[in-house]
Every structure is written in C-alpha cells, then in structure tokens.
Homo-oligomer: A and B are copies of this chain.
C-alpha cells in the first residue's frame, strides 16, 4: 500500500512521569532539549531545530509511559480526509481536543491497545527570542551545547499484543506505510516500522512481552552525526544516567543508537540514520526472519533482555 500523503510528519509525543522535576532536569540539562513553556501539569519541550512550539510534552502523573502521540496533517483538507477515514473505521474516536498550547484543534482517537493518537493541522511555530535567535536563519533556534543536543524529534516505539492489528490501525488511520518488519516463525509479526514521509520510520511497534497494555517502548530524537551519540554517551555516563544498550548499529533500519532510561524509567533513545531515506514510492517492506534477528544487532551485539521486557508504565511481575 502506498502512503496517502495526508499526514506530513510525527508532531509530538506526550510522556508521563511520576518524577516530574527529575525528568525535566534530565530532558533539558542532560538529554538536551529546550523548554518552550511550563504550566502546573506539563512542560513543553523541543529540540533546537524542531520548528514547532513543542515536540515533547512532559506531563506530571502518578505513572509513566505515553500520554498521546500527535501527527501533523499535510493540509486542512488532508486533516478532514483523515478524520473522515477514522470516523468511518471501527477504531475508538475520542473527538476534538484543544488543550495543547502548541497547536490548534486535534482530533483524537485510540488504537486497540490503549494508545491515544491525535492529528492536527493548525500549529504554533516556535518563535525564538533574542537569546535563542540562531546565527543561521534556516535553523529554528540556536544550536545548543547542553547535553546530547539532538536536532529534531525522530520517532517512537509502542508495544502492542498484536502487531498485525496495530499495522491495520496505522494504515487505516494515518495512511502510514511499512518500511521494515519482523516475521516470526509462529506466523505473527514481531515488529513493524512505519513512516508517513521519506524518513525511514517515525513510529515502530513491537510485540508486547511484558504483559502490559498501552505501553511505551521508547521515544527517540535524531542527532546530526554518530559522533554526537558517542559524545552523549560520555555525558550520560558523567550524569549517572542508566545506559541500557549501545552505542551500536541496528540491523533493522541500520540506525546508530543509544538507549537510556530517564529518571522516571521511560526509555529514550538518541539515533542517527546517516543519509538513509526511503525515497522509492513503491518501497517493498524489508522482512526479517526470526533466524536473521537471532544474529543480534548489525555488528553482532546481542539484544539485552530488558529490551524485550522493559516498557512504561512498568508491569510489576515482569520488570
């Protein structure tokens, strides 16, 4: 299935934290995002070259995980087409929401596994003040030195009991296309990588093995170079951040990665895909077998156990 072009890109992700202050300190000082605004319940963050007001909404909560996932439509008409398609589907519709200061009305709906999505057209561009005005007018704000300082939001990974069903949801509601996937020997799909544009993926879904529902596996921002990630590893080390795995190169998608846990336990990644893009309009999904996956990551690193089980919110009996 070719992509519909109605959805332009992943817009932002809302992350829940039961350690709001520590999480905010991590994301701004160590991970390297910038704070656009903060209210009683949430902080609105963005990478230095994200053009919108926020790409990460960090929300104070009694749990962790993902609050909602937002995609921006390609036009007002495209938004209407998507809303019609979703309303015509069998998926749960939550209706219009205008609670975020970072964009206009958003149409909310839910996947079969409890993840809340929203799509919107009207947005709020980030307007840098004098202190944050970049030297080069083609960047959204000053390049910042703090922490990992990723350039932009890249993707997120959600856990679901049935990846095949999740795929139907993404194709139906967002018109996403699949770029790579894992075909398990038992006939199930172990994981699926989706994109709505030329990025190799903006959302991945892997099979839930932790027993939870509506869980988040990780959220990722992109760095300009692989060296930025090696440097970030030292920054995480110096700041006592739990480095789960990496830096290393994924076999799937070939992305250079580094996974850490923010203070509340949500897994966050820094990644670099090099110059890789999906430009072919008729790209055939790359299908990985279970045998191929057993080889580990690109350079042979074995996938560590927690990567298969840890998600947020945590599931007591599994974590």
| Least Cβ–Cβ distance between A103 and chain B, in angstroms | 12
Whether a CB of chain B sits under 8 angstroms from the CB of A280 is yes
Complex contact A280–B51 (CB within 8 A): yes
Minimum C-beta distance from A2 to chain B (A): 7
SS class of chain A's interface: helix, strand, loop or mixed? loop
- Which residue of A198, A254, A281 has the most chain B CB atoms within 10 A of its CB atom? A281
Give chain A interface residues in 173-199, CB to chain B under 8 Å: 180, 197-199
Asked whether A93 is an interface residue with its Cβ less than 8 Å from the other chain, the reply is no
Contact across chains for A275 and B234 when beta carbons are under 8 A apart: no
A144-162 Cβ-contact flags toward B at 8 Å (1 or 0): 0111001110100000000
Is the pair B227, A226 in contact by a Cβ cutoff of 8 Å? Answer: yes
**What is the chain B residue whose CB lies nearest that of A147?**
B145
**A63 proximal to B (CB < 8 A):** no
Q: How far is the CA of A54 from the CA of B276 in the complex (A)?
A: 17
A145-B145, A198-B199, A243-B299 known; A8+B281 contact, CB < 8 A: yes
| Contact indicator per residue, chain A 262-278, by CB within 8 Å of chain B (1) or not (0) | 00000000001111110
* Contacting pair A143 B243 (CB below 8 A): no
B276 to A234, Cβ gap below 8 A? no
When distances are taken between beta carbons in the complex, the residues of chain B under 8 Å from A309 are none
Counting every copy of the chain, the complex holds: 4
- Does chain B have a CB within 8 A of A142? yes
Chain A residue total in the interface (Cβ 8 A): 72
Distance between A205 CB and nearest chain B CB, rounded to angstroms: 18
CB <8 Å contact, A279 and B9: yes
Chain B residues with CB under 8 A of A240: 135
Residues of B contacting A2 with CB < 8 Å?
A: 74-75
**Would you give the shortest CB distance from A25 to chain B, in whole angstroms?**
14
* B-binding segment of A14-22, A38-46, A107-115, A217-225: A217-225
B134 and A280 contact, CB distance less than 8 A: no
A26 and B134 CA atoms in complex are apart in Å by 18
Query: B139 contacts A224, CB within 8 Å?
Result: no
| A256–B230 touching, CB < 8 Å | yes
- Say yes or no for A294: interface residue by CB 8 A criterion: no
Tell me whether A299 and B237 are in contact in the complex, defined as CB-CB below 8 angstroms, given that A224-B275, A279-B8 are known contacts: yes
Rounded to whole angstroms, the CA-CA distance of A143 and B9 in the bound complex is 29
A-B pairs with lowest CB-CB distance, top 6: A224-B274, A227-B227, A222-B275, A9-B279, A198-B198, A8-B281
Provide 19 A-B residue pairs closer than 8 Å at the C-beta atoms, listed in order of the A residue: A51-B279, A72-B281, A74-B281, A136-B298, A137-B286, A137-B292, A138-B180, A145-B147, A151-B274, A152-B279, A198-B198, A224-B274, A225-B227, A227-B228, A230-B256, A233-B249, A234-B249, A243-B299, A247-B299
